[in-house]
Amino acid sequence: MSQTPINPRRLPPLNAIRAFEAAARHRSFTRAGEELFVTQGAVSHQVKQLEEWFGFPLFDRHKREVFLTEKGEVYLPFIRGMLNELYAVTQTLMDKGSEQLLCVSAAESFMVNWMINRLKGFSETHPDINIRVTSQNQVDDLGNIVGEEGVHWVDLRIRYGRGKWPGLEVTKLFDEDIFPVCHPELITSGKPLRDLNDLKHHTLIHDDMQMSWSNWLSAAGSAQTISPQGPRFSHSHMAIQAALNGHGIALGRSVLVLDLVRKGQLIRPFPLTVPSQHAYYLLCQERSINKPKIKTFKNWLLSEAKNFISQDDLTLQET
């Protein structure tokens, strides 16, 4: 079957498309120019060129920001999808040596408290696959990171959520439970810590997770109110470190703290557990799921997750 030839006169200029996507993401021609290493005027000119090619505006321009028009909103997801595919294929073809480089992104708390402890085992078993680990905050909308070594395509992402990522292959790794944890010496500090009412005698550690102390107590069936006072951290691994240092009681997420509880570095003062509405998932582009390096890492990760969940211990009982 013959394919319809592409008419280049009916394709918009690639530089203008890149400028359009960057400007839409930043809502700023200036910030788009900084990303693309061109001036604000060059971005404005390229976007104007694209609008003239179409014959209608793609942005509503304001003094400090630009906003997509209705037609711009329709066009943007297709452009992002196209650039996504282009980055992926280009990265595959550019360097054969990169075929055994596997880039994995995840939340910092998951990397620090769960994954890094296990990566040595993967590297020892699969020395031919080099792992590049990056924070999910470093991954842009196109699924790549830009570092000193250039652009790297992210092969796999580990995300915390409800499992709804359209267009991606999604595999659940863990469900999660949430419960209080603290340093073992806290229960011998002289302040009572026998039940939830005793929380008022202790410092509570807060972090910016989906479940606050007030929400956790309500879900656990307690009517007591909690003071918002106490140290607050932007990431769960910071709150966990504060608990390890004896600064107070934190809400521990099971995936992040069970290794520490099993080692006796943290304890659970109460047996109460509240299930989270979120879980951990492994995400991959559907076109990439059969790549050998991705299959190898995915199988290893699922095995580690299964072993973590099935460990026979008493950590879910009262300490």
d(CA 131, CA 149): 14
Structure tokens at 103: 């880039």
Q: Note the pLDDT tens digit of each residue in 182-217.
A: 999 988 887 888 889 889 889 999 998 778 899 999
Place of tokens 């991954």: 139
Which of the four pLDDT bands, split at 50, 70 and 90, describes residue 226?
A: confident
- pLDDT (0 to 100) of residue 88: 67
Tell me which H or E stretch contains 48: helix 40-54
Which of the four pLDDT bands, split at 50, 70 and 90, describes residue 21?
A: very high
DSSP 174: E
- pLDDT (0 to 100) of residue 211: 84
- The pLDDT > 70 percentage for the chain reads 85
d(CA 259, CA 121): 16
Which of the four pLDDT bands, split at 50, 70 and 90, describes residue 166?
A: confident
Tell me which H or E stretch contains 152: strand 150-153
Question: What value does the mean pLDDT take over residues 101-107?
Answer: 89
Q: What are the structural domains of the chain?
A: 10-93 (1.10.10.10), 99-174+279-310 (3.40.190.10), 177-275 (3.40.190.10)
Q: At what angle do helices 116-125 and 292-310 cross, to 10 degrees?
A: 130
d(CA 179, CA 252): 5
Structure tokens at 227: 């003071």
Mean pLDDT of all residues belonging to the chain = 85
Structure tokens at 176: 């999660």
Q: Is-contact 238 250, C-beta < 8 A?
A: no
- pLDDT (0 to 100) of residue 221: 87
Structure tokens at 106: 């995840």
Contacts of 245 (CB under 8 A, 6+ apart): 183
Q: Note the pLDDT tens digit of each residue in 31-67.
A: 998 888 889 999 999 999 999 999 999 999 988 889 9
Count of residues making up the chain: 319
d(CA 298, CA 107): 17
Tell me which H or E stretch contains 240: helix 236-244
Q: Note the pLDDT tens digit of each residue in 283-310.
A: 998 888 888 999 999 999 999 999 998 8
pTM for the full predicted model: 0.68
d(CA 226, CA 214): 6
d(CA 63, CA 277): 42
Q: Is-contact 279 172, C-beta < 8 A?
A: yes
